[in-house]
Amino acid sequence: MSAAGGAVQAQPEPLDESETRRRPYGLLLVAAPVLLVGWLVIWPIVSAVIRTLWQPADDGGYEFTLETYVFFFSDRYSLDNLTVTLWTTGMCALFLLVICLPISLYLRFSVGRLPAYVQSLAIFPMFVPSIILAYAFIRVLGPNGMVDILLNAVGLPKIRTPYLTPWGPVIGLVWDNIPLTVLILLSGLGNVSNQAIEAARDVGARWLQVLWYIILPRIGNSILVALSFSVLGIFSSFTLPYVLGPAAPEMMGPFMQRTFRDVNDPQMAITQAVITFGFCIVFGLFYVRSVARNRGK
Amino acid sequence: MAETLTIPRGRIDFPGIGFAIVLSAVIIFPLIVVGTWAFTEVWRYPNVVPQQFGLRFWNQTLSRADVWSALTLSLQLSTVVTLLSAAICLPAAYAFARMTFPGRNVLFFSFLAGHAFPKFGLLVAIAAIFLQLNLIGTFWGVVLIQLVGTLLFMIWIPVAAFQSVDRRMEEAARDVGASPLRVFWSITLPQAGPTIAAAVLLSFVGTFYETEGAWLIGAPGIRTMPVLMITFINNQMVIQYGAVLSVLLWVPSFIALLFARRIIGGGAFARGFGG
């Protein structure tokens, strides 16, 4: 998108005849990373689907079965984990939109030092590893944390700490995802021309109308991209829910990890993984399509 | 044009002040609290300010054997992963930027595949494969899983760098008789260098903080720095350990990332994520 100043272009410039190579040396040069993607991205996914659907049968062969999926969807605990994951993802998406859209709108239509400061703050969490964020969260919002200290100092009661409740991961994940959401929305807002807005203002449209009729339709795609990206990251996030969330019900990330390592049931763990793929497939496809279309321009 | 839409000078920018205050409180304040804890010796609830500042816990943290072994291991892992990644990705990036070959576009976008799936689900699927190969709990298992995580950045950013090199300068050098290698060394590399260096830096820092793959594949044998910090946080042994490690590790990585971002630019970041 034009607002993004990056020089990244997927398409090659038209090649000079002198530069055209008839023999595919290029294939040799790209072979190693491509094979790595094939072996460690494509194959594990295909293999996970196959291994969970065709399982060893009594007669020594393999048979088609939905056994592990039936177990997942009839197991109360698994379903609770799935529900809390969906709830967390939904809440995060909602909060991200409510927080980041006003920030991006403000940044798009302001110039000067204050907006520059606001922008650098909004981008800042990108530079904070999530493990440090988790630690800071506990020191600030945890029991007897900084917020409790300050509330106590002015004579107010303590907060009910979100640490180890489902709200813990929500707060942490929203914090973590603000930068990219703001950047993607800002990039989309770059496509909204000033003339369109001025024209609308000239005929007497109020700001709310401008927002609804002029701005939102033009950045709809960016909003969807930002949400898809966050959903993909949040749905199977591990570190923040593991450190900040409750022990039960847990989000799919910690659940899969525990099933794989502690319960030592890889078959069930990859079933859970395939189920997360299923829930995210729409967002994943949409995200890839948008990126590919952008790069292809 | 832009001026008429922005807030006129002289009027107070209330929304801006609001955002600045709220974001400072939410984003900077927690990090200041962590920074304060790192230099605190005694801080009992409900005092607003620590009773005693000091460096005692820096000594204690840095004299722990597990901290040093985790730090060495993390640095080793990041170095090996970054070198391997550069070795396989940079030639590939050059090929994507400059050569034509069958399937070029499909292969270029295949690196997105890893980002189209929820990450931890993918890690579990990989772990199932590693289980059969006995790579769980090994150094090279973690190297492989972290290497996959660097591919997209290490290919897409250098491709952009190679494409932005001025082709006319290369052709001019060829015209006056420079060999292709010489052209690459003296013309192409100096121009593409800073962006490539930024990508390398990014993958080093990113690998250093990679937690999920190291936790799932590496445990219990491979304890990297972030894995050690999770155990510090969960066991809540001494509050200051986590704070000292946070400050110690975060400051260098912050400077490095700031440098990388200056070169790559926020726009390219957003584009890389589909903005």
Q: What is the mean pLDDT of residues A105-134?
A: 87
Mean pLDDT across chain A, nearest whole number? 84
* A280 membership: H or E segment, kind and range: helix A266-296
**CA–CA gap between residue A214 and residue B5 (Å, rounded):** 14
| pLDDT, tens only, B104-123 | 888 888 888 888 888 899 99
B36 and B123 co-located in one domain: no
Q: What range defines the domain where residue B254 resides?
A: 65-272
Does the pLDDT of residue A15 top 70, yes or no? no
Token code pair at residue B250? 């975060």
**CA–CA gap between residue B223 and residue B214 (Å, rounded):** 8
Residue B96 is assigned to a structural domain of this protein = yes
- Nearest to B156, CA basis, from B103, B215, B97, B210: B97
**CA–CA gap between residue B267 and residue B261 (Å, rounded):** 10
- CATH number for the domain spanning B186: value is 1.10.3720.10
B181 and B219 co-located in one domain: yes
Residue ranges and CATH numbers for the domains of chain A are 22-65 (no CATH), 76-296 (1.10.3720.10)
Token code pair at residue A262? 């502690």
B86 and B204 co-located in one domain: yes
Mean pLDDT across chain B, nearest whole number? 83
**CA–CA gap between residue B222 and residue B140 (Å, rounded):** 10
B44 and B127 co-located in one domain: no
pLDDT given at position B45:
79
Q: How far is A82 from chain B (nearest CA, A)?
A: 13
B contact test, residue of A43, A98, A132, A191 with most B CBs within 10 A: A132
Confirm or reject contact between A251 and chain B (CB < 8 A).
no
CA distances from A286 to A43, A232, B76 (A): 21, 11, 37
Residue B2 is assigned to a structural domain of this protein = no
Residue B7 is assigned to a structural domain of this protein = no
Q: CB of B116 within 8 A of CB of A41?
A: no
Residue B6 is assigned to a structural domain of this protein = no
**Contacts with A128 from chain B: Cβ below 8 Å:** 31, 250
Q: How many domains does chain B have?
A: 2
Residue B59 is assigned to a structural domain of this protein = no
Does the pLDDT of residue B11 top 80, yes or no? no
**CA–CA gap between residue A19 and residue B145 (Å, rounded):** 36
Confirm or reject contact between A163 and chain B (CB < 8 A).
no
B110 and B46 co-located in one domain: no
Residue B198 is assigned to a structural domain of this protein = yes
| pLDDT, tens only, A236-245 | 899 999 999 8
Q: What is the dihedral of CA B68, A253, B253, B93, to 10 degrees?
A: 110
Confirm or reject contact between A233 and chain B (CB < 8 A).
yes
B161 and B230 co-located in one domain: yes
B180 and B79 co-located in one domain: yes
Annotate A113-155 with DSSP letters as a single string. HHHHHHHHHHHGGGGS-HHHHHHHHHHHHSTT-HHHHHHHHTT
Does the pLDDT of residue A6 top 60, yes or no? no
Its pTM stands at: 0.86
Nearest CB partner across the interface for A280, out of B96, B118, B264: B118
- Torsions phi, psi for A272 (to 5 deg): -60, -40
Q: How far is B206 from chain A (nearest CA, A)?
A: 9
- Nearest to A145, CA basis, from A163, A130, A131: A163
B54 CB neighbour count, 10 Å cutoff: 12
Annotate A240-251 with DSSP letters as a single string. HHHHHS-SSS--
Residue B1 is assigned to a structural domain of this protein = no
**CA–CA gap between residue A89 and residue A251 (Å, rounded):** 10
Task: Provide CB contacts within 8 A for B145, sequence distance 6+.
Answer: A40, B123, B126, B130, B213, B214, B216, B217
Residue B171 is assigned to a structural domain of this protein = yes
**CA–CA gap between residue B74 and residue B76 (Å, rounded):** 5
Residue A64 has what DSSP assignment? E
| pLDDT, tens only, A150-201 | 898 888 888 888 888 889 899 999 999 998 899 888 888 888 888 888 888 8
- Nearest to B270, CA basis, from A226, A201, A91, A11: A226
Helix (H, G, I), strand (E, B) or coil at B91: helix
| pLDDT, tens only, A250-272 | 999 999 999 998 888 999 999 99
pLDDT higher at B235 or B144: B144
B30 and B120 co-located in one domain: no
* B40 membership: H or E segment, kind and range: strand B40-42
**Contacts with A106 from chain B: Cβ below 8 Å:** 15-16, 19
Name the burial class of residue B95, with classes exposed (0-12), middle (13-18) and buried (19+) by CB atoms within 10 angstroms of its CB.
buried
- Torsions phi, psi for A155 (to 5 deg): 80, 20
Q: Residue B220: is the preceding peptide bond cis (ω within 30°)? A: yes
Task: Tell me how far the alpha carbon of residue A25 is from its chain's centroid.
Answer: 37
**CA–CA gap between residue B81 and residue B149 (Å, rounded):** 10
B184 and B116 co-located in one domain: yes
With CB atoms and an 8 Å threshold, state whether B270 touches A21.
no
Provide the β-strand partners of residue B52: B42
Q: What is the mean pLDDT of residues B177-192?
A: 82
Residue B70 has what DSSP assignment? H
B43 and B95 co-located in one domain: no
B88 and B146 co-located in one domain: yes
pLDDT higher at A260 or B259: A260
Residues 92..151 of A with a Cβ closer than 8 Å to B: which?
102-103, 106, 109-112, 114-115, 117-118, 121-140, 144, 146, 148-150
- Strands (DSSP E) contained in A184-282 are none
Task: Tell me how far the alpha carbon of residue B271 is from its chain's centroid.
Answer: 17
B115 and B164 co-located in one domain: yes
Residue A124 has what DSSP assignment? G
Q: How confident is the model at residue A14 (pLDDT cuts 50, 70, 90)?
A: very low
Reported ipTM: the value is 0.85
